[in-house]
């Protein structure tokens, strides 16, 4: 399996990969890029080398992708992180990678004016608007998975056949990266008190991965924690290549 360099860009490409399902089996490059950054920031370069080697994606360490990529090697990388690193460390790395992905989206993908407007809205309305925006771009993070979202008192995101945990088996929810991306966006644009938890997971045998974003029912202590976490991020520029 050496799909790693398959140039799955938005447009047409030479070589393999034709067929109607080709664009759907691709995922945004941040699922790889920001994971490399997170491993790097944690001083885990040797582990990164082994993870990418085991996932047959070594090439990406030297030349990180910049366009949509085949979701399968990305899944292999995420799953190898979970397999190779101690559980707490794997969670921390995937959480950081998700946060960095959120930072990238805030810096490059959501217009500043829209961000100002969202922050002025009541949380419930901002959540609904952000949910629409996320849904419109779900192909960038859900790949071939089937995405749906429901906004109400809380917001529920579902990814059926989530490619990043495809074929994985665990007795707990594993999709920390997705939860962390959603949480970063909600903390910045809806409420700093938002917590996103994965309440069902394909890896656990559930029908879909389900993420609940809740900004209303957090105990006070957790609120303080959430506030601290989202505090320092005020100017989301240059987050991607800063380190």
Binding site residues, Zn ion, CB under 5 A:
165, 175, 201, 209
Query: What is the gyration radius of the CA atoms in the chain, in angstroms?
Result: 17
Question: By the 8 A CB rule, do 151 and 197 touch?
Answer: no
Who's near 127: CB < 8 A, 6+ residues apart? 151, 155, 186, 190, 213, 215
Q: Which is nearer to Zn ion, 77 or 201 (CB)?
A: 201
Q: How far is the CB of 17 from Zn ion (least distance, A)?
A: 26
What are the residue ranges of helices labelled H in 66-192? Answer: 71-84, 87-108, 112-120, 123-136, 139-142, 176-189
Q: Which is nearer to Zn ion, 134 or 165 (CB)?
A: 165
Q: Which is nearer to Zn ion, 174 or 240 (CB)?
A: 174
Q: How far is the CB of 74 from Zn ion (least distance, A)?
A: 14
Q: How far is the CB of 200 from Zn ion (least distance, A)?
A: 8
Q: How far is the CB of 187 from Zn ion (least distance, A)?
A: 20
Q: Which is nearer to Zn ion, 83 or 228 (CB)?
A: 83
Q: Which is nearer to Zn ion, 67 or 207 (CB)?
A: 207
Residue 184 vs residues 1, 54, 135, 204, 243: alpha-carbon distances, Å: 34, 29, 16, 24, 18
Question: By the 8 A CB rule, do 50 and 58 touch?
Answer: no
Q: How far is the CB of 23 from Zn ion (least distance, A)?
A: 23
């Amino acid at each position: 399996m050496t799909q790693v360099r398959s140039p799955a860009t938005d447009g047409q490409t030479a070589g393999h990969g034709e067929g109607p399902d080709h664009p759907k089996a691709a995922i945004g490059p941040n699922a790889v890029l920001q994971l490399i950054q997170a491993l790097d920031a944690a001083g885990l370069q040797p582990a990164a080398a082994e993870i990418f080697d085991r996932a047959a994606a070594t090439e990406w360490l030297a030349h990180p992708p910049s366009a949509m990529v085949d979701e399968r090697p990305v899944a292999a990388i995420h799953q190898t992180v979970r397999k190779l690193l101690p559980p707490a460390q794997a969670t921390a790395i995937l959480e950081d990678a998700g946060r960095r992905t959120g930072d990238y989206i805030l810096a490059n993908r959501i217009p500043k004016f829209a961000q100002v407007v969202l922050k002025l809205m009541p949380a419930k309305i901002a959540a609904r608007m952000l949910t629409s925006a996320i849904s419109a771009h779900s192909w960038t993070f859900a790949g071939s998975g089937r995405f749906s979202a429901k906004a109400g008192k809380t917001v529920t995101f579902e990814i059926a056949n989530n490619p990043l945990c495809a074929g994985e088996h665990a007795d707990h929810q594993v999709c920390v990266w997705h939860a962390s991306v959603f949480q970063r966006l909600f903390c910045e644009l809806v409420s700093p008190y938002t917590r996103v938890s994965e309440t069902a997971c394909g890896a656990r045998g559930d029908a879909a991965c389900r993420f609940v974003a809740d900004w209303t029912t957090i105990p006070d202590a957790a609120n303080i924690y959430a506030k601290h976490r989202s505090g320092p991020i005020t100017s989301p520029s240059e987050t991607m290549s800063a380190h």
